[in-house]
A and B are shown apart, each in its own frame.
Chain A
């Protein structure tokens, strides 16, 4: 989950 922090937001 290296890059997903924030990418799960809208």
Chain B
């Protein structure tokens, strides 16, 4: 494992911890999109089907369990926790999941490497992950005054995707036959979605003002 991959995984882990911290300690999910969280839960559930069939490493299995467990518990908190659910911006979080899920499923059925259940599900998870942040970005745009933790959560998620691209560049030059077009294209698309957010995030940081996305 190279440094970019490790840094990417750790950033991803940090993003989840920041979100859990906000929900668990402050008992608030204001500004957090349940739609995005549900899509992530689906992404991990469909991607990690191999957790029971292939053993890669202890690190790999543990991280998979963490991402599965945290994504489902975040969804549970927002939907069912008696205090947290009251802070959910239901009226603002109106992005429809199926607008993302159906095209991703169709694309996975037609564009994949092997036509097996596990492989199509894995490909679906890559496509879905690429666009799963959209409901969250739409919600941020509608929310005036984004709080620090929510801003940091999205920033860390974006940083994780960026680091994975460096990881692929590194692996491309150091490992023979490391060519994975589907993963790469989905990953680059996903990272580009954060470009606008990053711009405003750094602007607000530089000028020391509260993060606000233009409507």
- Chain B residues contacting A10 (CB-CB under 8 Å) are 9, 12, 60, 63-64, 67
Q: For chains A and B in complex, what number of residue pairs have CB atoms within 8 angstroms?
A: 29
Determine the main DSSP class of A at the interface with B: loop
Complex Cα distance, B113 from A6, in Å, reads 12
Does B178 contact A9, Cβ atoms closer than 8 Å? Answer: no
Does chain A have a CB within 8 A of B147?
A: no
Chain B contact residue count (CB 8 A cutoff): 23
Determine the main DSSP class of B at the interface with A: helix
Contacting A9 at CB < 8 Å: which of B113, B114, B164? B164
Chain A contact residue count (CB 8 A cutoff): 8
CB-contacts of A1-10 with B (<8 A)? 3-10
Does B5 contact A5, Cβ atoms closer than 8 Å? Answer: no
Ordered nearest first, which 10 A-B pairs have the shortest CB separation?
A6-B180, A5-B178, A6-B183, A8-B56, A10-B63, A5-B180, A10-B9, A8-B60, A5-B177, A10-B67
Given A6-B180, A8-B57, A10-B9, 19 additional A-B pairs, CB 8 A:
A3-B114, A5-B175, A5-B178, A5-B179, A5-B180, A6-B178, A6-B183, A7-B50, A7-B56, A7-B122, A8-B56, A8-B60, A9-B5, A9-B167, A9-B183, A10-B12, A10-B60, A10-B63, A10-B64
